[in-house]
Structure 1
Amino acid sequence: MNLLQQFLGDQIFVWLLVFARVGTAFSIMPTIGDAFVSARTRLLFSVAVSVLVAPVLGDRMPPMPDNIFRLFVLIAGEVTVGIFMGTVARLLMGALEVAGTIIALQSGLSNAQMFNPAMASQGSLPGALLGWLGLLLIFITNLHHLLIMAVVDSYSTFAPGAAIPIDDMANVVGQLVGKSFVLGVQMAAPFLISGMLFALALGLLNKLAPQIQVFFLFTSLQVALGLFMFALTLAAMMTFWLTHFEAAFVDFLRPG
């Protein structure tokens, strides 16, 4: 009876540690962690994945601690790693909002706001469209499998019970913030160039005919030009973003 109780206790301990990391990561990551997904769905999905992968990861878990304080320390470490993994994916989704905001400013659509799933808040119309497309492409290209694999294979990089490399995590987050902004600017580069040329042309026209309200008259032309360029560059922008999104998670994957 004592052996059975010890076996069940060890299994529950392993499942608890796995669920702490997996559940935290899935609650922050895009797709399953977005605001339009109910909390019950996220919880059930996290429990299902934890139950499936816990037997595989059992040999990587530290022994059960002999006091409650060490158990809390282990759980806090797993939650920290889960937050880090989820933040990596969420920061890469932020590139879509950066690109959408720049496109909205250059196309005259900055006043129109709607819900953006990539940031779980109100945002510009182009940013919201890019956010929905990003989520759709993640599912279409099966990159949501890559997100799950990245969390599971993170046990090779962040061993449970080992010291958490806080400095390295902070550096990665800082680099991803900069990378996300650069990606957004690169995606919206055609709109920045066309917007500057369009503003320059209107400025010269205003100097030639100061009595005409050129900025008011040509606002509709600015919107039409922006929508036309958006239709031309949308596929290239999303392909460019998807490539970098996938590459960011390859570093977390380790062959078994």
Structure 2
Amino acid sequence: MELPLSTWMTIEIWRTALVFLRIGTTFMLLPGFGEPAVPVRVRLLTALAVAFSCAQATPNMPVEVPGAWGMVFAIAAEMVAGGLIGTIARTIVAASLMAGSVIGLNIGLANVFALGLGPDQSAAIGAAIYIGLAAALFALSGHHAVLHAIVDSYAVVPAGHFLDIAAGARAVTLAGVQSFRLAGQLAMPFLLLALAFNVSLAMMNRALPALPVFMLASPAIVAAGLYLLAATAPGLIDQGTLAWDEMLKLLY
């Protein structure tokens, strides 16, 4: 099939625009790329550069430029698909923020707040775990896996077509379930520490009612919690990276 140069350029620009819409929407939500500290212009320029690189490798691309309403339909479909990928990735990584809040509550540091990399205020411990997990994902090329997943998503959801609502809802639900399960796993050692510590304090208070147990125990629980955090931090990051690898399976 022979196409005039002007027609070929129009089709290529349309295909690149569709890829940019899906990748750009994903980058707005993706951990690391989509943080409030990263300017929107930088995110969009990065997504545009990635779109130019991936446009020729994406399957199931349209062969002609649709009309005005077809363009509106395709743009909405691509933004929904990109939003789904970004939401799933953000939901999985949000487990570190939930775990950090639970950890801070159980070791007496829940009143320490800091602005983390997430879109909202999070406890300092959760922000530290989140930053460590994001750094580990970039060091282990986890962002490359997401880019591969975006390109491979065109085999499941062709460009310009809406994804199946039931499949998308199922993927988001599974991501939420996995995020809560991961948060519970990360915070479990600190829950056990708090349980044992509080039971010990209750026994001491029962035996020595006049002893100021709370004043003596507060520094001890903070010191024990920080020591446990230092000992378990590598395992927390490792479990987060494993959950990130499992997240890619939710897209198919």
Q: TM over 0.5: same fold?
A: yes
Aligned 1:6-85 pairs, distance under 5 A: 6-57=7-58, 60-85=60-85
Q: Tell me how far 1:242 sits from its aligned partner.
A: 0.8
Q: Which residue of 1 aligns with 2:124?
A: 125
AA of the residue aligned to 1:96: S
Identity %: 29
Cα deviation digits, residues 203-256 of structure 1 (max 9, x gap): 111122222221122100010000011111111111112112112214648xxx
Q: Which residue of 2 aligns with 1:107?
A: 107
CA RMSD of aligned residues (A): 1.6
| TM-score normalised according to structure 2 size | 0.94
Cα deviation digits, residues 130-167 of structure 1 (max 9, x gap): 01101110111111111111111111111123342111
Distance 1:125 1:66, change over 3 A: closer
**DSSP-derived class of the 1:180 partner:** helix
Q: Tell me how far 1:66 sits from its aligned partner.
A: 4.1
Q: Which residue of 1 aligns with 2:182?
A: 183
Q: Which runs of 5+ in 1 are unaligned?
A: none
**DSSP-derived class of the 1:121 partner:** coil
Supply the distance in 2 between the matched residues of 1:213 and 1:251 (Cα, whole angstroms). Answer: 52
Supply the distance in 1 between the matched residues of 2:24 and 2:13 (Cα, whole angstroms). Answer: 15
**DSSP-derived class of the 2:115 partner:** strand
Mapped pair 1:210 → 2:209: yes
Supply the distance in 1 between the matched residues of 2:37 and 2:107 (Cα, whole angstroms). Answer: 28
AA of the residue aligned to 1:183: L
**DSSP-derived class of the 2:41 partner:** helix
Contact conserved, 1:92 with 1:180, CA < 8 A, in 2? Answer: yes
Q: Which residue of 1 aligns with 2:89?
A: 89
Cα deviation digits, residues 37-64 of structure 1 (max 9, x gap): 111211111110111111222x621243
Q: Which residue of 1 aligns with 2:166?
A: 167
Supply the distance in 2 between the matched residues of 1:186 and 1:35 (Cα, whole angstroms). Answer: 28
Supply the distance in 2 between the matched residues of 1:143 and 1:56 (Cα, whole angstroms). Answer: 20
Contact conserved, 2:133 with 2:237, CA < 8 A, in 1? Answer: yes
Q: Which residue of 2 aligns with 1:148?
A: 147
Supply the distance in 1 between the matched residues of 2:184 and 2:107 (Cα, whole angstroms). Answer: 15
Contact conserved, 2:31 with 2:89, CA < 8 A, in 1? Answer: yes
Q: Which residue of 1 aligns with 2:197?
A: 198
Q: Which runs of 5+ in 2 are unaligned?
A: none
Supply the distance in 1 between the matched residues of 2:124 and 2:161 (Cα, whole angstroms). Answer: 44
AA of the residue aligned to 1:19: F
Contact conserved, 1:153 with 1:252, CA < 8 A, in 2? Answer: no
**DSSP-derived class of the 1:161 partner:** coil
Distance 1:26 1:163, change over 3 A: closer
Supply the distance in 1 between the matched residues of 2:143 and 2:67 (Cα, whole angstroms). Answer: 37
**DSSP-derived class of the 1:197 partner:** helix
Contact conserved, 2:20 with 2:48, CA < 8 A, in 1? Answer: yes
**DSSP-derived class of the 2:122 partner:** strand
| TM-score normalised according to structure 1 size | 0.93
